[in-house]
Amino acid sequence: MNLILFGAPGAGKGTQANYIAKKFNLYQLSTGDILRNEIKNKTETGKKIEKIINQGDFVTDNIINELLKKIITSSSCKNRIIFDGYPRNITQAENLELILNADNQSINFIFFLKVNRETIEKRILGRITCEKCNKIFNEYLDSIEIEKHECGNNFLKKRKDDNEEALIIRYDEYMKKTKPVLDFYSSRSYFHEIDGSQKIQAITNKIEQILVV
Query: CB of residue 162 vs Zn ion: minimum separation in angstroms?
Result: 24
| Residue with Cβ nearer Zn ion (65 or 129) | 129
- Binding status of residue 151 toward Zn ion by CB under 5 A: yes
With binding defined as CB under 5 A, does residue 159 bind Zn ion?
A: no
Q: Please, are residues 115 and 197 in contact by the beta-carbon 8 Å criterion?
A: yes
Q: Considering the complex, what minimum distance in angstroms separates the CB of residue 33 from Zn ion? A: 38
How many whole angstroms separate alpha carbon 142 and alpha carbon 189? 37
- CB of 143: closest distance to Zn ion in angstroms? 16
Q: Distance between CA 54 and CA 95 in Å, rounded?
A: 26
Rounded distance between C-alpha atoms, residue 59 and residue 56, angstroms: 10
132 binds Zn ion per the rule CB under 5 A: yes
Shortest spacing between CB 150 and Zn ion, in angstroms: 6
Segment lying near Zn ion (by CB under 5 A), choices 15-23, 35-43, 97-105, 124-132: 124-132
What one-character-per-residue DSSP string does 112-156 give? EEE--HHHHHHHHHTEEEETTT--EEETTT-HHHHHH-TT-STTE
Interaction of residue 136 with Zn ion, rule CB under 5 A: no
Contacts of 191 (CB under 8 A, 6+ apart): 110, 112, 185
Q: What minimum distance in Å lies between the beta carbon of 157 and Zn ion?
A: 11
Nearer to Zn ion, 98 or 133 (CB): 133
Instruction: Tally Cβ neighbours within 10 Å of residue 42.
Output: 9
Find the binder of Zn ion among 130, 181, 203, 207 (CB under 5 A). 130
Residues that bind Zn ion (CB under 5 A): 130, 132-133, 151
